[in-house]
Chains A and B, each alone.
Chain A
């Protein structure tokens, strides 16, 4: 009994991780498959064809690049706007501030289907031609909320005394922002931008409504699913996953290095004393 009790937590943890990673593992493993027929769903034969010939299927790479482009452009706009909104909400008291705070959350809570359909109705009414521009507008709209929330959290966590100290040390408002505020908030902004990009890259529903004839990567996969998904899609998806892992691991490694550097050499006697 005790043997089980001592190991129960570990066993459950491993099971949960397995549950989380099996789908990703399936995607990755099947990228090395040579399907027997149209559907890449059961293991047939090992092959690296999909990896050596990534753009071998018409439309795959084009849609992938379209999604990257849309993601980058909408992230840049949303990050700049979202950061400015976050600063305004945290730093200034103005009429309509709490309303703005509330409205910012709205796109996060609205069902995507509703938002996609409403935007389509709007664009049609305005006779705005559907295409990459409309997708980008839509993406900026819904990623901005997430960026505002992320940057706001970082700003609120910042000690206001640091900016006071800068002012006290002859930094005018511009210098205070440039040398103190921005460097301290930058990690939050970078995190927000990554989040924004992944939301944009990954979006299907809203893009589908407003794409016109443009095919993004998720739209391509959806279309391909009807006829059998090419193995290249698995390979590209695995690449995206690996890229994300590299980013996460790099961040972890950097903070680990920083933490290690914090350990003072034993000769520093004061190190033993509690820090404030």
Chain B
């Protein structure tokens, strides 16, 4: 397959793409460029419009308005079978009446390509299914079927490979294995992969670029680590990993540091890490960035750190880490992950503790208390 990486792969552009089902916009004015050769993940809860977006790119759904362009070729009005795009379906959709070889050869045969045998065998080698060529799909395990689905799409050397929740039907162990496998195949063939998933861990491990989608729009897009470290909306902060969020208001600024008052507590947020435009700011911190200490350790807190006091209400030991739930004086639960590297006593339920973390890890988001409640409800309903 190395010769295929010399192909001229081009960027995929979505321009003001909109899809309405009746009055409801499943995809709402989506504009996006997916760089050629990248592994791009569309991440969102079910019903956020990610699958509809994918189906529009595949040509299985007609957009209400907007354009789909590959390089400088507008494919918006091409039928599905005319597009240089192939899909790996959620349930694989392998043809049950054809054997593995014929499943993989299907696209080549329809396009009357030469050397079908040689190409199919090479592709089956790539996905390590050579000996299975004459089996029927129902004779393969879930992981093998998955690889057939990838092979069947990739053999056509599409400009863009679309993956619709490709690992959703696999169990956890196999999913991990397939994540690595898919990444390896993507690097090997160099094709642009657009991967739709609701699994944030999957999106982060595999993709170079993640776009978090909510209610038909993209909330935030970027490198997985950048999004995780600096989420820009409440939805992203909660959907991609966990966050502790405190609604507050801005009380002042000294140099780079913005002071925020929340429930009588003073928090520092770096202005470079604040995405709120108004004085209403939600202060956020990831659970693993928080240090939990006994109250007596108060004097050892580095200066400038944000500080919070509370009472431990739950401790769960998970091996690698310990998860604490700490209740603040105003009754909010704060989640803390602590790596199990400490020798000696851990905090116990009922302990009064002090939590502290660096402003370098703190982020500021636009919105107030009502937004926090609303997002919590959406997430509880959607995931």
B142 A168 Cβ-Cβ under 8 A: no
Closest to B144 in A: A270
Q: A165-B89, A167-B81, A168-B87 known; A276 and B170 CB under 8 Å?
A: yes
Q: Are A168 and B110 in contact (CB under 8 A)?
A: no
B141-155 near A? 1/0 per residue, CB < 8 Å:
111110000001100
Give 16 pairs: A residue, B residue, CB < 8 Å, sorted on A: A162-B93, A167-B60, A168-B80, A168-B85, A170-B81, A170-B111, A170-B156, A175-B110, A184-B96, A184-B97, A261-B136, A268-B141, A270-B141, A273-B174, A275-B145, A276-B145
Dominant secondary structure at the A interface: helix
The reply to whether the CB of B91 lies closer than 8 angstroms to some CB of chain A is yes
Establish whether residues A169 and B139, one from each chain, have CB atoms under 8 Å apart when the complex forms: no
- Give the secondary structure class of B's interface: mixed
Asked if B86 is an interface residue, CB under 8 A from chain A, the answer is yes
B58 at the interface (CB under 8 A from A): yes
- Chain A residues whose CB sits within 8 angstroms of the CB of B174 once the complex forms: 270, 273
Contact of B142 among A162, A179, A275 (CB under 8 A): A275
- The answer to whether B143 touches A167, judged by C-beta atoms less than 8 angstroms apart, is no
Given A169-B107, A180-B95, A273-B174, is A164 in contact with B142 using a C-beta cutoff of 8 Å? Answer: no
Bound Cα distance from A161 to B59, whole angstroms: 13
Taking residues whose C-beta sits less than 8 angstroms from the other chain, chain A's interface range is 20 to 34
Q: Are B142 and A276 in contact (CB under 8 A)?
A: yes
Q: Which residues of A contact B115 (CB under 8 A)?
A: none
Output the nearest chain B residue to A159 by Cβ-Cβ distance: B93
Most A C-beta atoms less than 10 A away, residue of B81, B94, B138, B169: B81
Given A183-B97, A274-B142, 10 new contacts (CB under 8 A): A162-B95, A162-B96, A164-B89, A168-B58, A169-B107, A170-B156, A171-B81, A175-B110, A184-B97, A276-B91
Which 10 A-B pairs have CB atoms at the shortest separation, nearest pair first? A276-B169, A270-B141, A169-B107, A161-B93, A165-B93, A170-B110, A167-B80, A168-B87, A183-B97, A170-B81
Q: Which residue of A lies closest to B105 (CB)?
A: A169
**0/1 string, A252-276, CB within 8 A of B gives 1:** 0000000001101000101101111
Distance between B149 CB and nearest chain A CB, rounded to angstroms? 9
**Residue of B at shortest CB range from A164?**
B60
The CA-CA distance from A24 to B95 in the complex, in Å, is: 42
A172 at the binding interface (Cβ < 8 Å): yes
